Structure 1
Amino acid sequence: MGRTGLQWGTYLRNTLLVLVLLLMLWLAFNVRLPSVDELRADMESLGWAAWIVFVLLYAIVAMTPIPVTIMAVTGGLLFGIVEGSALSIIGVFIGCWGAYWLARALGRATVVKMLGTHADTVERHLADAGFQAVATLRLMPGLPYWPVNYGSGAFGVSQRDFLVAGLISTVPGQVSLVAVGSFISEPGVVPAAVVLCAWAVVVTMTIWALRAWKGTSSRPLPGDRFRRRS
């Protein structure tokens, strides 16, 4: 039963991937995408509601496996460094917090199934853990935000540790991505300097995360000791 379900899941994902690719090809040949200036004009026409729309959309994306990089760079393209960074940080913060509480509502068993291949890694480092574990996983290269968000809610990380660690470890990366979007839109010294400084902070924090990871990678999963004794 499990194997059949897994095969059907694979078929479904592959089918959806093909459909998405076909849709993108059709859009590329039949739909004229708006320019950055046109998008900015549309945002300005919405007034203050544009901020709410962007933040809500970002929060929704942050609760899914969709990379948040897309939204952060878009924030820089549309709103500039300062405004885009503020909106992106608020949006990703709300989305991560929402995923945390959704995981608590769904329960540990359901979240483990959702995490898939990330389940063992996330559980090993987040089970009954705190600030350092959340910050370490958030900064780990190649590990998306969403497994950390749902894992924190499911595996007993306190809300305070999750929010503080998430905010500290998320801000530099968000600012750097927003600055990249701003630089693409309007190349200049200021956005380039912000990108370099922000990425320097990200690299420094990532090195710390990697060292912390090596120090905790041998940590046993809950129940491992009991299984060894039995």
Structure 2
Amino acid sequence: MEELAEVQHLIEESGWLGPALFILLHLVRPLLFLPVILVCVAGGLLFGFIEGAILSFIGLTLMSFVSYVLIYRFPTFKQKLSRLKDKVLPDRHLSMGQIMVLRIMPFVHFHLLSFYLMEMTDTRKEYMIYSMIGVIAPAVIYTAFGGAIHELPWYGTAILFILLLLVYKVIGKMHNDKMDTIT
């Protein structure tokens, strides 16, 4: 715990550089193979709940924008995500609610969910609005409860995952029922 206090003191002394580096960490996180939950938990530990959640929201929002740019500028990246989408959820149309729930689940591919959002929206502005809404929950939940989730015993984590899976399924059924009544 003494090391954490030293790091917190260093961040407090760094002024604007600490938060800027933390946001940059969100942007390079995929290159370092760090899960979103880990970075958000670190934000809560280092900056506190409010500032950590705000910084994670900013970092995840910027990462959503970077995803958009990468997918449209690099056709190879788009093709890889399309193949991944076909493997993970073949012939499946997700609702916005399901994507929001998946954003909360640890270790769900961030760029794949961004790709789903891109396919569901018509403009970059619409995509960014939904992306911003979609990263609020993980930024807040992981920052506030990430430490608790991370510290849960394996069965606690399994129960949480099953609950999120049930919510995902219920939202999907509601979405499919709604689509059936429209057609």
Give the TM-score, by structure 2 length. Answer: 0.68
Per-residue deviation, 1:151: 4.5
Aligned with 2:109 (options 144, 150, 154): 144
Q: 1:58 to 1:36 in 2, by over 3 A?
A: same
**Preserved CA contact (<8 Å) 1:73 1:178:** yes
Distance 1:102 1:41, change over 3 A: same
- Structure 2, unmatched stretches of 5+, are 150-159
Q: What is aligned with 1:81?
A: 49
What is the match of residue 172 of structure 2?
Answer: 213
Q: State which drifts further: 85-94 or 168-177.
A: 168-177
Match of 2:129 among 164, 176, 184: 164
Deviations 1:165-185 (A, max 9, x none): 22223212211211136779x
State, as a whole percentage, how many aligned pairs show the same letter.
19
Secondary structure at the residue paired with 2:35? coil
Ranges in structure 1 where 5+ consecutive residues have no aligned partner: 1-32, 127-131, 185-198, 220-230
In 2, Cα distance between equivalents of 1:125 and 1:64: 30
Residues 169-202 of structure 1, C-alpha deviations (whole Å, 9 max, x = no match): 3212211211136779xxxxxxxxxxxxxx9xxx
TM-score (norm 1): 0.56
State the distance in 1 between where 2:69 and 2:90 align.
Answer: 17
Tell me by how many angstroms 1:39 deviates: 1.0
The 2-side partners of 1:182 and 1:212 are apart by 27
CA drift of 1:49 comes to 1.3
Q: Distance in 2 between matches of 1:45 and 1:115?
A: 44
Per the TM alignment, residue 122 of structure 1 is displaced from its structure 2 partner at its CA by: 6.1
Aligned alpha-carbon RMSD (Å) = 3.6
- 1:133 and 2:119 aligned: no
Distance in 2 between residues matched to 1:118 and 1:69, nearest whole Å: 22
Check 1:70–1:115 CA distance in 2 against 1; reply closer, same or farther (3 A cut): farther
**For the pair shown, which has the larger CA radius of gyration, 1 or 2?**
1
Summarize the Cα distance change of 1:181–1:134 in structure 2 as closer, same or farther, 3 Å threshold: closer
Letter in 2 for 1:70: L
Residues in 2 aligned to 1:115 and 1:65: alpha-carbon distance in whole angstroms: 20
Checking the alignment, whether the CA contact within 8 Å between 1:62 and 1:95 is kept in structure 2 is no
1:72 and 2:40 equivalent?
A: yes
Tell me, yes or no, if structure 1 residue 42 matches structure 2 residue 23.
no
Per mean C-alpha deviation after superposition, the further-off stretch among 87-96 and 139-148 is 139-148
Question: 1:1-230 counterparts in 2 under 5 A?
Answer: 35-61=3-29, 66-107=34-75, 110-114=77-81, 116-121=83-88, 124=91, 133-140=95-102, 141=105, 143-153=108-118, 155=119, 157=121, 158-180=123-145, 207=167, 209-214=168-173, 215-216=175-176
- Summarize deviations over 1:131-153 as a string: whole Å, max 9, x none: x7344224224633221124544
Report the alpha carbon displacement of residue 96 of structure 1 after superposing the two structures with TM.
1.4
Alignment coverage as a number of residue pairs? 160
Q: CA deviation at 1:58?
A: 1.2
